[in-house]
Amino acid sequence: MQRPPKYKQVQMPSDPDIQTRVEVMSKNLRRDLLDFQEFQQLVEVIDLKELSLRWLISISDSYLTRGTEKERAISGIISTFATIGARTIDTVTLNLPLENLQEHHQHLYDGMVSVNLNSCDTYQNYFERIDSVIRLEPFLYKLWREIKGRIQHNSKVFKKLDELHERGIYKLPPYSQWKGKHYEQL
């Protein structure tokens, strides 16, 4: 005897906008009531700018659970940054004056130090490294650029970093000055 499904299928309203279509299909996909390829065919041709950040992340999460091995690996990076990394940076720092982002590295544990986002290259290197991997899957790279762009545009921390960079505070010294040196020697 077959058990009834835990969740009922979400019905598509008549004449839905694109965000509603993605939302309904995403929910049904999570409930194993939709084929991933049908979902994929829709999301890979739509204009991602028409979706809220919440549903862009949901698309990435769908690739993380249903995609090929390569798609799962790449979308795992996107989902982790969007759901944990960016929110953590904002949450931890929003209770402090944003000028405190300039404070020196602080020792944390086991040789780890806090990241001084606007005076070292961690922020820029992270995105360059991640971009080089995500670029291997064209649709996921398009999705990554949209998600990353929205977070950078709306995050108070990333806005502050961009402002600091424009004023020259975030600018790195020339490579010849820091080649072979520890950050504390700069």
**Contact, 98 vs 157, CB < 8 A?**
yes
pLDDT of residue 127: 79
pLDDT digits (tens, 9 = 90+) for 28-44: 999 999 999 999 999 99
User: How many Å apart are CA 181 and CA 173, to the nearest integer?
Assistant: 12
Global confidence as pTM: 0.70
Q: Which tokens go with 51?
A: 């979706």
User: How many Å apart are CA 9 and CA 51, to the nearest integer?
Assistant: 22
In which residue are the tokens 């008549």 written?
A: 14
pLDDT of residue 113: 59
pLDDT of residue 112: 61
